[in-house]
Amino acid sequence: MSTIQPIAGELEPHPDVALVDRVRGGDVSAYDTLVRKYDRQIFRIAQHITQNREDAEDVMQDAFLKAYQKLDQFQGNSKFYTWLVRIAVNESLMRLRKRRTGKMVSIDEDIETEEGSVPRDLADWAPDPEQNYNQAELAEILRKTIQGLPQGFRIVFVLRDVEGLSTEETAETLGLSIPAVKSRLLRARLQLRERLSRYFRRKKGSEK
Amino acid sequence: MTCTEFLALLDDVIDDSLTPEVRAEFEQHLGRCGHCEVILNTTRKTIEIYRSHEIYDLPTGLRDRLHSAIMARCKKGC
């Protein structure tokens, strides 16, 4: 198996490069380390896209297995994590297609909405709005709110703001242009803000 | 700067990628527009809440089970 070259311009190769090289050299235990490092993120991304726990479990397994099988195709000109996320996003979309019996599913679905593009709810939030809910209630609010976003906005928000990919990495992962990622991110952020305002706005008559 | 122009720059402010000149204009607008200040603060808070709360956790038992299944198949060559 070939050795990955460090990304041009980077002095220190990413630690994953060494792990990937070890796997390519036949050391399966190095893959164990990579799985442990990224399994939570991949599971979360899969669940955000499929919105189904069983599908997310299957996607997580399939994505790591596919990445292992295709490791020779990993060029090292992107991060291993970004490459893995791209596989997981594709697996998730395939899983959705199966569930919807062949209906086309893409990240361009339902994005022609103007909702939230112009902020309507201008009320300020309580100082620590999450304090008004217990953990389970808060998680439910956050889940329900993000699930209501159009798919194409939700994926961009999750990759960019929750999982910390850069705009460029998000664009590369989803096969979108940078302006498209930026436009979707703004609208996703504004729509989520608008929807969360229903729960977090400062109550009338409260002191602060 | 108008509120619409402010909104168009919102992501760049949140991601801290404005030039000093544009940032100064932005701050100036912020100082006299309460609505835009609310939008900026609550949008920042929206991102922070989603970043800091795990809404889809992977319980240890399930994680171990999935992990074992993946590694068993990798060892067999998938």
The minimal CB distance from B11 to the residues A39, A48, A186 is found for A186
The CA angle B3-B6-B10, to the nearest 5 degrees, is 135
Contact between A142 and B66 using a beta-carbon 8 Å cutoff: no
Give the separation between CA A133 and CA A135, rounded to whole angstroms: 7
Q: How many residues does chain A have?
A: 208
pLDDT of residue B65: 94
Contacts B74 to A, Cβ<8 Å: 28, 31, 64-65, 68
Residue A122 CB neighbours (<10 A)? 14
Give domain limits for chain B: 3-75
First to last CA, chain A: 63
First to last CA, chain B: 58
Give the separation between CA B33 and CA B40, rounded to whole angstroms: 11
A27 Cβ partners below 8 Å, 6+ apart? none
In which band, very low, low, confident or very high, does the pLDDT at A120 lie, cut at 50, 70 and 90? confident
pLDDT of residue A124: 86
* Residue carrying structure tokens 């050391």: A27
Name all domains of chain A by residue range, CATH numbers in brackets. Answer: 15-99 (1.10.1740.10), 129-200 (1.10.10.10)
Residue A116 has pLDDT above 60, yes or no: no
Q: Which of A103, A117, A126, A128 is nearest to A205 (CA)?
A: A126
In which band, very low, low, confident or very high, does the pLDDT at A109 lie, cut at 50, 70 and 90? low
Give alpha helix (H) positions in chain A: 15-24, 28-50, 53-69, 80-99, 135-147, 151-157, 167-174, 178-200
What is the residue-averaged pLDDT of chain A?
A: 86
pLDDT of residue B19: 92
The tens digit of pLDDT for each residue in B34-57 reads 999 999 999 999 999 999 998 998
Residue A9 has pLDDT above 60, yes or no: no
CATH architecture for residues B3-75: Orthogonal Bundle (1.10)
Contacts A39 to B, Cβ<8 Å: 58, 63, 66-67
ipTM of the complex: 0.90
pLDDT of residue A208: 44
| CB interface of A with B, residues 187-206, below 8 Å | 189-190, 192-193, 196-197, 200
At A138, list the tokens: 């808060």
Cβ(A17)–Cβ(A4) below 8 Å: yes
Residue A207 has pLDDT above 50, yes or no: no
